[in-house]
Amino acid sequence: MNRPDVIRTNTADLYDAHVLKNYGRPALTLVRGSGSVVWDDQGAQYLDFTSGIAVSALGHCHPYWVAAVQRQAGELIHVSNLFRNPNQGELAKRIVGYAGPGRVFFCNSGAEANEALLKLARLHGMKKAGGEEGKIYKVICAKNAFHGRTFGGMSATPQEKIQKGFRPLVPGFAFGELNNLASFEELVDDQTAAIFVETIQGEGGVNPATTEFLLGLRDLCNRRDLLLILDEVQCGVGRTGKFYAYEHAGVRPDAVGMAKGLGGGFPIGAIWVGEKSADLFQPGMHGTTFGGTPLACAAALAVLDVLERDQLMAHVAQASVAWIAALQSLAAEFPSQLLGVRGRGFIVGLQLTSDPAPYVATLRDAGLLVPSAGGNVIRLLPPLTATVEELARAVEIIRSVLVAKK
Ligand SMILES: Cc1ncc(COP(=O)(O)O)c(C=O)c1O
């Protein structure tokens, strides 16, 4: 594999001088990637189980994806949504194929997908209220959720560290306990339009919604004429071994949001809206300049092609069994450091007994890149292409760090 040939020595200075300080980053500049591996500007190699926060579904620079994006970049990149382009219709059809009868809207990020979903909830409320605006508008979300940094997403994210400094927020949100159906039921009133939860909370610490809870929400939404909206921005697009994580529960939402892995590294977000609510958005009611460009859709189509051609969802489902078992053995071996393992497929959280930051740093030094999450959790988000050997290598590195910190 190639080593980086361009070494820029002033990157840190340029960041220090010119980039807004809204991120605390380690002193690490990544310059090249291939599959599950990335290299820094000093030539050091890392196993990348951050995957750009669950984005690089096919790993770095997958040849099929690169060829598709290069081909499309030489043909047509952007025309706006004032015109049709061939890739957007095709991608919408493929998403409908996974989600069921309905329609798709394309945007550029997870937060933007969620904004569209929250607007959908308001439109449903308005319809319920016989066309009257502002009467039925409330959305019930989960405590510990993360839905993005826009005002809508942030208002649906009841975390002090996310909301502090930005109040007043958008009104109309209430929060139940994940996996506590009664706490959601109690919050439903005559002003409620929708329930909006992550199928697996990612940033909140890899907390899966249980099958029982999701089925209970479905029933509650049916009884009270609420939309059941799922945020699969992080856990969707094959990451759990099925295209949508909710499929494991056998539940059907009314709408779902996705982004991250969909473009395999090219920014794209999407919402799927089921048939029942697909006509709530009428011409002029919502839009975006960049959403669903020929280039973004070509990238996403390439992701879906490889996902299907290489049966990556079956790979994730199979390979994750032994991998998660190996991680659970670590938890049994190092109980003073590791409380447990949560998640499904290739979205897994290791719950530590202490702050994950020193672990994330030591793992990085040992050659494994991982992000942390809320509740003292280290997240493991390998590309869906990660091999059994790479998964085992990650376990070895984690083990060596647990030994060193014992
Ligand atoms: C579940 C979930 N929803 C929404 C978002 C926001 O997505 P983006 O950062 O693309 O705006 C994220 C990002 O981490 C996420 O995990």
Known active-site residue 290: no
pLDDT, average across residues 176-194 = 98
pLDDT computed for residue 2 by the predictor? 46
115 lines ligand 1 (CB under 6 A): no
| Average pLDDT over the chain, rounded to an integer | 97
Atom 4 (ligand 1) nearest CA:
147
Is 90 a residue whose pLDDT tops 50? yes
Phi-psi region of 387 (alpha: psi -120 to 50; beta: other; left: phi over 0): beta
Phi-psi region of 10 (alpha: psi -120 to 50; beta: other; left: phi over 0): alpha
Active-site choice (40, 48, 260, 266): 260
Q: Would you mind telling me the total number of residues written for the chain in this entry?
A: 406
Is 37 a residue whose pLDDT tops 60? yes
Mutate to test the pocket of ligand 1, among 107, 233, 268 (most ligand atoms within 8 A of CB): 233
When pLDDT is cut at 50, 70 and 90, the band that residue 9 belongs to is confident
pLDDT, average across residues 154-181 = 98
Reading across the β-sheet that carries 347-352, which strands appear in turn? 338-344, 347-352, 377-380, 372-373
Which single residue is written with the structure tokens 């050091």? 44
Between CA 269 and CA 96 the distance in angstroms is 15
Long-range interactions of 4-9: CB distance < 8 A, separation 24+ = 4/31, 4/32, 4/39, 4/40, 4/41, 4/43, 6/31, 7/31, 7/41, 7/42, 8/41
Known active-site residue 405: no
When pLDDT is cut at 50, 70 and 90, the band that residue 1 belongs to is very low
Measure 365 CA to ligand 1 centroid, in angstroms.
27
Task: Render pLDDT for 294-327 as a digit per residue (tens, 0 to 9).
Answer: 999 999 999 999 999 999 999 999 999 999 999 9
Is 215 a residue whose pLDDT tops 60? yes
Measure 49 CA to ligand 1 centroid, in angstroms.
17
- This model's pTM is above 0.85: yes
Q: What are phi and psi of 197, to 5 degrees?
A: -140, 160
Closest atom of ligand 1 to 153 CA is: 4
When pLDDT is cut at 50, 70 and 90, the band that residue 6 belongs to is low
Atom 3 (ligand 1) nearest CA:
147
Closest atom of ligand 1 to 114 CA is: 4
Q: Computed from CA positions of residues 367, 371, 233, 30, in that sequence, does the dihedral angle turn out positive or negative?
A: negative
Is 32 a residue whose pLDDT tops 80? yes
Closest atom of ligand 1 to 234 CA is: 16
When pLDDT is cut at 50, 70 and 90, the band that residue 135 belongs to is very high
pLDDT, average across residues 246-254 = 98
pLDDT computed for residue 248 by the predictor? 98
pLDDT computed for residue 406 by the predictor? 87
Evaluate whether 137 touches 125 at the Cβ level (below 8 Å): yes
147 lines ligand 1 (CB under 6 A): yes
Active-site choice (231, 242, 254, 346): 231
pLDDT computed for residue 117 by the predictor? 99
The fraction of the chain above a pLDDT of 90, given in percent, is 97
Task: Render pLDDT for 347-399 as a digit per residue (tens, 0 to 9).
Answer: 999 999 999 999 999 999 999 999 999 999 999 999 999 999 999 999 999 99
Known active-site residue 260: yes
pLDDT computed for residue 7 by the predictor? 58
pLDDT, average across residues 135-150 = 98
